[in-house]
Each structure stands twice: as C-alpha cells, then as structure tokens.
Structure 1
Amino acid sequence: MSQGDERGYGGSEPGGRSEDAYSTLGGTRQTRTRMPGSGEDPDGYGRRPARNSRSLVMIVGVVVLLIAAIAFANQGGGDNGGSGKEKKPDATGAVPTTATGTKPVQGKNGTIAFGFAHDEQGAQSAAANYAVALGSAEMFDKTKRDGILDAVIAPTSIDKFRSTLDQAYSTGFFRNVGLNDDGTAPAGFAFISRTTPIGTKVTKASEDQVTVDVWCSGLLGLAGEGSTKPVTDGWFTITMELQWVNGDWKAVTHSQKDGPAPVGGDNRASGADEIAGAVNGFGGFTYAR
C-alpha cells in the first residue's frame, strides 16, 4: 500500500487493520508466488542463470579478504601506531564492526523488554522491540493482545489502540488470513505471524518525544498440508512515535508503509512442516540499537 493508505493507529482513520491484510499488527500482504518447476513465468522473467566461474572466483576472493580482515583484527600487542600498547574501544564500547549504542536492557515485562535508556538510542531499541510484539501471533488473541498493549502503549493512547484493534481483529479478518472465527488456527495447521526489525532511525526527537522508523521483514500465513494461505514474506517500514512515560518509552502512534523491499532471491520454497518447525524452533531476540 502507498503511504497515503497507511492505517496509522492514533491517526484519523479507524479500523485500519481490517482493511489492510498486511499491517504490522499481525497481518500480511497478498502476494503472488511462482512455485519452482511450475513452468509458469507470468511476468516474463526467467530464473537467474547458474553462477559461472567468474562468480565463483569473486566469492572465493571475498572469503579470502574476510579471513584476512579477521586475522588482522585479532592481532594483539602489535604496532598500534608505534606505541606498543593495545588500543581500547571508546567509552560507549562501540567499534566499527559491531552494533552501535548501549547494551540491551535487562528487564522484561512478560516477553517484552522494558527499561530502555532515556535517549535516542533507547527509543530506537524500544521501537524495534515493540514492532516485534505488535506483529506477533499473540495479537490475534484478545487476552494476549490486551497484555501487549498494556506493556508498549502510552496510557493516554491505550484506549484508542484497544478500541481500534478490537474492531480490526474481526471475524472477517480472521477468515481472510485462514483462521477460525475465534482467531485460532484450523486443526492440523500452525498459524505464523512474525516481524523482524532490520534497522531503525530517528526522524524527529526532543527530550521526551521521539519518532522512530523501523525497517522490517515479516512472515504470515498458515503452515500445514494443503494450506490455502501459505506463509509469505513481506517488507515494510513502521513509523512509531514514542513518549517518555514513568521511566520508559511508550508508543503514542503507529503506522506503516510498504518497503523498501529487496529483489527476491532464487531460494527454494520450504515445505509447510519445515517452515512451521523453523518458526517454532527458533526464538526471537531482544533488540537494542
């Protein structure tokens, strides 16, 4: 959807979730999937040709350079500018090849991190973790959804979020994503909804109010034999305005738009059992800037 079609929670358009089948809050875009070996090429693009020897040489060269860089980085007690002393990282502990910012928070409210730093980095960490929670399968359960909202939404906005989402998570929406009328997965199927932040950036900031963009990828669908709503992926950017409330960052508004999306790869599509096993077997992370 275009940015003009965003369903911004805290915005002027009610019921956004029910009209957008791939919002961050647990939904998915409808995409056309070209299965391997189908013989169909509706867009007129063939599969990528097999890598030639030049590509292989390039890959080997990159690996050699990477090994050399690691070996150089691990050298201790070297010249270091002729001082004979090992250089220390700066006060923040950040070095060019590692993630920037402060360490991840230690506290958790259920499964959601809390106690973020009162600065822009802390706001970015909060936005990334809140994007994961708001895009999870737990949002399809009323009781769990209320708990998530209590943990991540500012008190002044929580009633509006709850009212909007209660309307959005309707029987019609559940059916649209292949669920039963009560939001549960049909027998023999595993429902998957997962959001993964790729990166964050601050677009507006003051001492107690920060707006953060979170670039994400997402999975959503039913994994199981004969699923008519198979698990698909999507790319989107969430915009979240956060406010410093009672010693932590809380979301005041939430919206999203499509992309940026990379060119799709040539990976073989995994079977339903493999996808369900991966999602259930691989846990998530606490994200920090």
Structure 2
Amino acid sequence: MNPGDEGSYPDYGDTGPVPTRTRLPDNDPYGGAPRRPTRSSSRSLVTVVGVVVLLIAAIAFANRGDGNNSSADGTTTKGSAPQTSSTAPSGTRPVDTKTTGIPSGFAHTEQGAQSAAANYSVALGSADMFTTARRHAIVSALYVPDVAAARQSALDSAYSSGTFLSTIGLTKDGTAPKGQTFVSRAIPVGTKVTSSGQDTATVEVWYTSLFGLSGEASKNPVTESWYTTTYVLKWADNDWKIAGDQQKEGPVPVGRDQTASTADQMTKAVEEYGGFTYAR
C-alpha cells in the first residue's frame, strides 16, 4: 500500500501492525456508559402522560354531580347519582298482590300510576274480555265505581253483539270454534305521564296487540296492531282506578320482511308463553 493512496494509513515502520478502528455497541458490555437516548423516546413518554391526564380529567368530569337528584316519585334527594333518562325503566317491582287475577295495590306515585296503566291495558286487551262473567269482574276491579256501571253496559253491548263476534270468527258465547285458538293480547311498550296531581294522573300507554284466530281453518289469522290508550286515573280504595280511557292508533313501526309462522306454531306459542306483570 503506497502512502497517500486513498484509504491508506500512515507508515509506522516496524512499530507493529497497522492500527484499525473499532466501533463499540450502544451499551458497552464492559461497563462503559450507554449512548444517550434519542429525543423521540422523550416525546413518546410526554404524549402517553398527556393522554392519561386527559382521561383522568374526563372521568372526573363525567362522575361529577350537582349534588341533587330526583327520585322515582318526584322528590329530590341530595348526593345521589345523576338521574337517568325519563324513558328508562325504573327496575322497581310494582306489586306482589292481585285482584281477580289482575295486579293491584300500586304505589300512590307517578311510577305506580304508570305501572297500573300498563297492567290494566293487558287485562282490557285480553281474551277474557270476550266472556261475560270475566269481563264484568275486570271492569269492576279496574274502574272507579261511578264509572264502572256505565262502562260495563257499553262493553256488554259491544262484546255481546252477534254481528261483531261472527265478524271476528267467534261463537255467540265469545269462544273460539272447535279446533281453533282465540288470541287477544296487549303487550305494553312504554308509558308516559302527561299530567298528575295529588290523587289523579293521566297516563298514556303505547302497546302492540296480537289478535285473531289460530288454526288451520281460521279465516281471521293472528295479526299485529299498534295503539296508544290514554287513561285518566284516580286514587280510590288505596289503588289507582280508571275514571276514563280513550284509544287511538299508532305509533306504528315499519314491519320487517319476516315469514309468518304456521297456525300450529302460533297456537303452540300462545299456549306455552305466559304474560308479565308490567312495571314502569
């Protein structure tokens, strides 16, 4: 190798071999000081810390309350969790007692009035309303005394009409023909109080209704309808009673493209699936 050539080293004569350059690793296995970390690691650490701080602040803000909250009966309590949406279910069991098979003994509150209205819709929309004795028991249990008599007379005229019963496929005594099952069920979807006082409440119940005859020879298959009934309730005999009611159609959702069940499947479902006690 000639001096001055590119890439050559100076001539040291006979002092020894030509020296070479050695690059140590970042972390010296012999105890040398490690290389200084790059700035990008510091920036990543700062970013992570910042995100954690923001999350802690967001959680603290979400859990912060104003110290006041309204309970289910409209009273105000201090130090409770934030109030839920007015459309959310209360989760409180309404009653444990029944009168003539209908839930009774509801609380003297707005929530109690809504629970009563929902369960009264089920009773008034049931197949029991098509038999005289059962219909009389339901009306007497649900309506205030000064309204029950007039209401019962009007319902007797409607349900006892031979034309009406034959139109829906029932016999003169309000029962289904042999080999068929009569279906009449109301399923509450929601309730709403539109006005209330100390002993009065006006409650709207939105519900879907199943109605018709299930059977191979049925000319009136079970269909689905949607209604809203407004109940004027009064507190009487330690319970909510109906002083007036009015029904209207809807709101009606868009139907799904589903295949209708067979008559046997519908009959089996009606016989095997029971109803509920409804709570607000």
TM-score (norm 1): 0.67
User: 1-side partners of 2:135 and 2:268: how far apart?
Assistant: 24
Q: Which residue number corresponds to residue 112 of structure 2?
A: 122
Aligned residues: 205
- Which residue is 1:285 aligned to? 276
Alignment partner of 1:152 is 2:142: yes
Report whether the alignment pairs 1:172 with 2:163: yes
Question: Which residue matches 1:192?
Answer: 183
2:94–2:107 Cα contact (<8 Å) kept: no
Partner of 1:36: none
In structure 2, give the amino acid aligned to 1:100: S
Instruction: Give the structure with higher Rg (CA).
Output: 2
Structure 1 residue 103: deviation in Å? 2.6
Distance 2:152 2:105 in 1: 23
The answer for unaligned runs of 5 or more in structure 2 is: 1-58, 61-69, 73-80
**Distance in 2 (alpha carbons) for counterparts of 1:95 and 1:274:** 39
Pair 1:91–1:263, CA change in 2 (3 A): closer
RMSD of equivalent CA atoms:
2.3
Matched, 1:108 2:108: no
Q: Could you report, residue by residue, the CA deviation over 1:246-283 in whole angstroms, capped at 9, with x for unpaired residues?
A: 11000111110000000000111001111111111111
Identity of aligned residues (%): 50
List 4+ stretches of structure 1 deviating above 4 A. Answer: 90-98
Question: Are residues 1:209 and 2:180 paired?
Answer: no
Greater shift, 100-109 or 225-234, is seen at: 100-109
Structure 2 CA distance for aligned equivalents of residues 138 and 167 of structure 1: 16
1:218 equivalent among 195, 209, 227 = 209
Give the C-alpha shift of residue 110 in structure 1.
Answer: 2.9
State the SS of the aligned residue for 2:121: helix
Distance 2:110 2:88 in 1: 18
Mapped to 1, the partners of 2:147 and 2:238 lie a distance apart of 17
Give 1:219 deviation, angstroms.
0.5
CA distance in 2, matches of 1:106, 1:153: 20
Name the counterpart of 1:49. none
| DSSP-derived class of the 2:172 partner | coil
User: 1:16-31 residue pairs with structure 2 within 5 A?
Assistant: none
Conservation of the 8 A alpha-carbon contact between 2:126 and 2:186: yes
- 2: CA distance between counterparts of 1:163 and 1:91? 41
